[in-house]
Structure 1
């Protein structure tokens, strides 16, 4: 493996990424045993990953709370504390932006009958 700035396979000087970091980013394989989300274009490459695995039955995308939002949540004493699973960095993302629920058919149960 070439060092930074070396040969055709190397990374240009001043890129800030090591060869190992670049290699590890290119070897990400999606899981075969659970759903996952694939980010096609992130807002900030240093903060956004490419692959997000859905570990539970629900998955929440959002962002970190501002100090004022944290204070409001404490005042409300929210009982439905929904934990954000994946933090995104774009400015238009809400604290709890999107909730995805896994379909019961994926867990081996019969699908719900729709009327």
Structure 2
């Protein structure tokens, strides 16, 4: 797969995808637009994703076939809205076919630590 990264650096950037520190978003103001097959590597962690802030993944746009690994956990976020992963916490709004591995793997809408609800 070919990485689709327009801009990656430590400061504030612009373009289709930007990284601010450990943060990855689809625009400078942090708003999330539609993202498909965005590939990133932050602090040795590779992923296909819309947004990352340290251990946080967030976004309000439509995301297709996006996955990320944080702290040795693999996440697959497909067609999700308003979802985020913060450390061991995963919050998924409208989600289809999402697999989140925190202690165990779940197909679910909402994970906090190892708790599914």
TM-score norm. by structure 2 comes to 0.23
Q: Which has the higher contact order (CA 8 A, sep 6+)?
A: 1
TM-score norm. by structure 1 comes to 0.23
Greater Rg by CA: 1
Bigger fraction of residues in helix: 1
